[in-house]
Every structure is written in structure tokens, then in C-alpha cells.
Amino acid sequence: MASLFVEQLTVIDFSYLCPERGLVGESWLVDVVLDGSLNEQGMVFDFGNVKKDIKQAIDSTIDHTLVVPSKSKAIQLVDHGDIREVMLETSQNGILHCQAPSAAIVPIPVDVITPSTLKAVVEEHLKSVVPDNVDSVSVNLYPQSIQEAYYHYSHGLKKHHGDCQRIAHGHRSPLKVKLDGQTSPQLASQWAKKWQDIYLVTEADILDEFENKGFRYIKCGYQAPQGYFELTINKKCCYFFQTDTTVELIAQHLAQEIKKDYPSHQVTVHAYEGYKKGAIATA
Ligand SMILES: Nc1nc2c(c(=O)[nH]1)N=C([C@H](O)[C@H](O)COP(=O)(O)OP(=O)(O)OP(=O)(O)O)CN2
């Protein structure tokens, strides 16, 4: 018996529904360990296959989806053929409703989404992609250790040709701000706090704004290559953009907003999108 490992094989960027926090954007790193006997090549599984097949299997399960703890009493799920609808009801934010092609909303039969409750689902899925000499695959899911400010956001990029078109996928993202070249942890923390668990809305995607039972809601929707997506969410969980919400435009927006308060300073923003990638903007 031998064991093979790959650390940080991939990063899953997704959002999940939480009865306490609402819609939460996350980025979790994934380590894998494969136990098995050696094949005719003297390997448990070629690293090339691990990096391609296992990464692809993980990405196709959770990455860029809305993950739903389907056993939670606060959740209702309905399937209409290829379309899935989910509703989260909480006393603090009222109703959150999402409708999307089924692949974009992933029900997990648990009460709450955590790295350990998702782990079992990912491991079960991976059993079908490894060869017979592999006895078990285990994964470790965990958030990046971040020293500076960070925020969790969700969004959808309707013009993206891949899975980023999904209306409720998200990221956990560090933020760095500099004023005249000097790091300002204070400004970064201020924006990270303002955007904690935020949904970034592109104003052109708004279909309706309405009030119901004391809550003010925003309904967004669009047709994208994978199908029709719609999200209704409490307005106080939203931040509004006049543009799309690519990370380049997020960095630009933050730099311009901070510049309004510091007009005589050069403002530089490093906005991350999940793990170790992002955009830099200066105003
Ligand atoms: N230049 C940009 N490219 C992309 C942006 C962007 O804002 N600017 N955004 C996205 C999506 O929002 C997506 O969520 C990015 O996720 P990522 O995991 O990095 O994308 P991939 O799936 O392509 O990468 P993996 O290595 O498979 O995780 C996409 N592009």
C-alpha cells in the first residue's frame, strides 16, 4: 500500500446558503491524498491524471456553484426538469430566492455547509474517477490563511463564457489599499467590513425592487449561454455597480471610491478574486 498526495490541487470558488449569514462567497483550497497499490508504472496514479482528472471532477461538482444545505429547516428546494429553485428564509433578512439551471445549484444533504460536511460529498464523487488500484481518496478543504483584510462576496458575470456566468457564485478575497505607496490596513479593513458577505449587483441586471413583509428586495436576472438565472435578495445584502463586477472593475471602483475621500493622494488597490489572483487599479 502506498499514499500519494497533492497539496493545493485546486481552489473551489463558490457561494453557499447559511441560515445565519445568508449568501456567503467562499474560496477553499483542496489537498488530496490517494491510498492504493502501485500500478505497472510503479505509481498510485500519475500526477498528470491527478492534476487533470481529479481537479476536473472536483471543479465540476462544486466550483462556481451555489451550494445549499438541503436538510436545513430554513431551506426549500424545487426541481422543474433542468431548472432548480432554492429559497432561504431567515428572520433577519427575509427571503433569498435563486432560480438557475440545475448544475448551478448543488444540494448537499446536511444542515450546514462547512469544509467537513462538503468533504464527504467530494470524496464520494472522486471514487468514480480513480482507477481500481486506488482504494481511497481523501480531501482536505480549507480557507487560505489571510493576515490582511478580506471579504466574502458573491456575484454573477452574465457575459462570461464559462461558469462565472452563474448568478450566485463567490469568493473569499483579500484586499490591499495603498495611499501614496503606503499600505493602509485601516482603509482595507473599512471596505472589507462594508463588503462582508455582500452580493455585488450589476445595475443593468435589476428586474425589480419591491417590499414584502417589511423587507426591501432586489430581483436580478439575465439570460446567459447556460440558461436563465434569477436571484432575489434583501437589498441590505447588496452593493451596486454601474458596470459588470469583474475583478478589474471591482479594483477600479474601489480605487475611485477611496480617491473621493483622499483627492490629493494616489490610491492603489489590489483586489483579489479568491486565491492568489486579482487586479490592481490606481486612481
Ligand atoms: N480577467 C478576468 N478573468 C476572469 C474574471 C475576472 O474578473 N477577470 N472572473 C472570472 C470568474 O468570476 C471566476 O469566478 C474566476 O474563477 P477561477 O476559479 O479563477 O476561474 P477558472 O475556473 O477559470 O480557474 P480554475 O483554475 O479552474 O479554478 C473568470 N475570469
pLDDT band at 181 (very low <50, low <70, confident <90, very high): very high
CATH number at residue 243: 3.30.479.10
Ligand 1 pocket, residue 258 CB under 6 Å: no
For residue 235, give the C-alpha cell: 437589498
Q: Which domain holds residue 228?
A: 2-282
CA-based R_g, the chain, Å: 20
Q: Whose CA is nearest to atom 23 of ligand 1?
A: 162
Plot region of 251 (φ>0 → left; ψ -120 to 50 → alpha; else → beta)? alpha
Q: Are 241 and 201 in contact (CB under 8 A)?
A: yes
Nearest ligand 1 atom to alpha carbon 13: 18
Question: For the residues 98-109, what does the mean pLDDT come to?
Answer: 97
pLDDT band at 160 (very low <50, low <70, confident <90, very high): very high
ipTM over 0.85: yes
Q: What's the domain count of the chain?
A: 1
Ligand 1 pocket, residue 246 CB under 6 Å: yes
Of 17, 6, 9, nearest in space to 154 by CA:
17
Portion of the chain with pLDDT greater than 90, in percent: 99
Strand-pair category, 75-80 with 66-69: unpaired
User: What's the pLDDT at 232?
Assistant: 98
Q: List, as one string, the DSSP characters of 97-115.
A: EEEEEGGGEEEESSSS--H
For residue 88, give the C-alpha cell: 432561504
With a threshold of 0.80, does the pTM exceed it? yes
State the distance from the centre of ligand 1 to the C-alpha of 120, rounded, in angstroms.
25
Digit-coded pLDDT (tens) for 124-141: 999 999 999 999 999 999
Digit-coded pLDDT (tens) for 240-277: 999 999 999 999 999 999 999 999 999 999 999 999 99
Nearest ligand 1 atom to alpha carbon 11: 28
